[in-house]
Amino acid sequence: SSQFLGSTEVEQPKGTEVVRDAVRKLKFARHIKKSEGQKTPKVELQISIYGVKILDPKTKEVQHNCQLHRISFCADDKTDKRIFTFICKDSESNKHLCYVFDSEKCAEEITLTIGQAFDLAYRKFLESGGKDVETRKQIAGLQKRIQELETENAELKNKVQDLENQLRITQVHASPAGSVTPKSPSTDIFDMVPFSPISPQSSTPTRNGTQPPPVPSRSTEIKRDLFGAEPFDPFSCGAGDFPPDIQSKLDEMQEGFKMGLTLEGTVFCLDPLDSRC
């Protein structure tokens, strides 16, 4: 377990001077709190390839969750082997915050542990997602195009349906009241030869040549015209694997890992007076 001195906003994502000032500031704040009878809260650090979690040691409640690709600097104190600190970019405000701890264990070990976790996380990112960023961009684009085509397909189906209805209405009005029975139930709209029990041979020449049979006949093929011969699309089945914000997450991780993590063990030294705080 460690004592959590707190976090403070810093102007730079890394740097010895930046860390030194933050530690001095938080040590002074702890000194004031001690003089007022307040205790420095104890926390438990959980380091993994996903980040550094700051937990309540009793309830195990997560107080802070610092994603590893957002951590840009990690260092321990030269004079006080218990002081350990890291700089993390806050996910909500996008400000750089410096977290400072007074650990019972050697602070240098914690620094190295975070460094190892960062290396493993970067390797895993490259293996699982980093190389596929462009592929996922293409998939996202294809999924968007599929949605557009499906909408277009639905609109075309509605138009075809309207045309069919109009043709039926026109056909009913055009035929006289005493028309021959084979013409009234005519199936010319489906491009089929109407069946007539009276004269099967005479049905073919009685077809209405003014009707455009090709339009309705294509109605069943519209989906295939839009998506190709095969109705199955391999990109549509994996839609659940790629949430809408997947690209922003990948870009953020890529940016964070590209910036890298600076490990500086035993680099900054506070004045002897400060170590008494």
The confidence band for 231, taking pLDDT boundaries of 50, 70 and 90, is: low
Can you give the pLDDT at residue 159?
92
Can you give the pLDDT at residue 239?
43
Instruction: Pull the structure tokens for residue 195.
Output: 């069946």
pLDDT tens digits along 51-74: 999 999 999 999 999 999 999 999
User: Mean pLDDT over all residues of the chain?
Assistant: 76
Instruction: Tell me if 97 sits within 8 A of 9, measured CB to CB.
Output: yes
The confidence band for 254, taking pLDDT boundaries of 50, 70 and 90, is: confident
Can you give the pLDDT at residue 224?
55
118 C-beta neighbours (distance < 10 Å), count:
22
pLDDT tops 80 at residue 203? no
HSE (CB half, 13 Å, CA atoms) of 217? 9
Can you give the pLDDT at residue 74?
92
How much is the average pLDDT of 192-218? 52
The CA-to-CA distance between both ends of the chain, in Å, stands at 20
d(C-alpha 137, C-alpha 215), whole Å: 37
Diameter of the chain measured on Cα atoms: 116
Share of the chain above pLDDT 90, in %: 34
Ramachandran angles phi, psi of 100, nearest 5°? -125, 135
Angle at 86 between CA 80 and CA 87, to 5 degrees: 140
The confidence band for 253, taking pLDDT boundaries of 50, 70 and 90, is: confident
pLDDT tens digits along 42-53: 999 999 999 999
Question: Which residues, other chains included, contact 259 with Cβ-Cβ below 8 Å and sequence gap of 6+?
Answer: 13, 72
Pick the closest to residue 275 from 103, 47, 24, 88 (CA basis): 24
pLDDT tops 60 at residue 226? no
pTM: 0.55
Q: Residue 41: is it exposed, middle or buried by C-beta count within 10 angstroms (0-12/13-18/19+)?
A: middle
- The second-level CATH assignment, the architecture, of 2-128 is Roll (2.30)
Instruction: Pull the structure tokens for residue 276.
Output: 């008494």
d(C-alpha 153, C-alpha 180), whole Å: 38
The confidence band for 127, taking pLDDT boundaries of 50, 70 and 90, is: confident
Sign of the alpha-carbon torsion through 268, 270, 276, 277: negative
Instruction: Tell me if 235 sits within 8 A of 139, measured CB to CB.
Output: yes
Residue with tokens 């195009």: 145
Instruction: Tell me if 141 sits within 8 A of 246, measured CB to CB.
Output: no
Q: How far is CA 62 from CA 44, 46, 58, 98, 255, in A?
A: 9, 10, 11, 18, 26
d(C-alpha 50, C-alpha 47), whole Å: 8
Question: Which residues, other chains included, contact 247 with Cβ-Cβ below 8 Å and sequence gap of 6+?
Answer: 136, 137, 140
Q: Report which secondary-structure segment, H or E, holds 224.
A: helix 222-227
Can you give the pLDDT at residue 187?
54
Instruction: Tell me if 236 sits within 8 A of 146, measured CB to CB.
Output: yes
Share of the chain above pLDDT 70, in %: 65
Over the Cα atoms of the chain, what is R_g? 36
Minimum mean pLDDT range among 48-57, 121-130, 166-175, 214-223 = 214-223
The confidence band for 190, taking pLDDT boundaries of 50, 70 and 90, is: low
